[in-house]
Amino acid sequence: MSATTNQQLIREHFAAKDRLDRAALESQFTADARWWPPLSGAQRGLAERPIVGGPTLAEMMTTLSLKLYERERSWKIEFLVADEHLGAAQVHLSTRLAASGEPYENLYVYFLRFEQGKIAELWEHLDTAYAFALFDRALSGQ
């Protein structure tokens, strides 16, 4: 696929995450897609590395994400680059925590590898210390 096509795929991916559109997300992944969440998430037992399977990833990004965040959310792409094989995006997430309703704002960087017009691998990077501190506070009721 072309760089332009892969850039559009990244845009559509974050738009689908905004809408919690499971079918759209699943269609964007290869059947054996791999997501590499931050190591600190694996250390806390939140996710194994890698998480494998397009349907599994779509489920996590929609239904299971509601355990962390409220339904209303905005993924705003700040920077985006892609070529025929790889892409990267810096994205700002704005939402509220499901446990407390407290505002949640964080910056994410994603690296993506493409195969035949779909996302085959996705690496996620963010300030997990900040995120985990907010999650812990929300769960403790403070």
Question: What integer pLDDT is reported at residue 110 of this predicted model?
Answer: 98
Separation between Cα atoms, residue 35 and residue 39, nearest integer Å: 12
By C-alpha distance, which of 76, 60, 65, 73 is closest to 135?
Answer: 65
Domains and CATH numbers, the chain: 3-140 (3.10.450.50)
Separation between Cα atoms, residue 53 and residue 58, nearest integer Å: 9
Question: What integer pLDDT is reported at residue 135 of this predicted model?
Answer: 87
Model pLDDT for residues 25-48, shown as the tens digit of each residue? 999 999 999 999 999 988 888 788
Sequence-separated (6 or more) residues with CB below 8 Å from residue 136: none
Separation between Cα atoms, residue 12 and residue 33, nearest integer Å: 17
Question: What integer pLDDT is reported at residue 115 of this predicted model?
Answer: 97
Model pLDDT for residues 20-30, shown as the tens digit of each residue? 999 999 999 99
Secondary structure letter of residue 66 according to DSSP: G
Residues of the chain with pLDDT under 70: 142
Question: What integer pLDDT is reported at residue 92 of this predicted model?
Answer: 98
By C-alpha distance, which of 56, 67, 63 is closest to 17?
Answer: 63
Separation between Cα atoms, residue 75 and residue 136, nearest integer Å: 23
* Tokens read off for 140: 């403790």
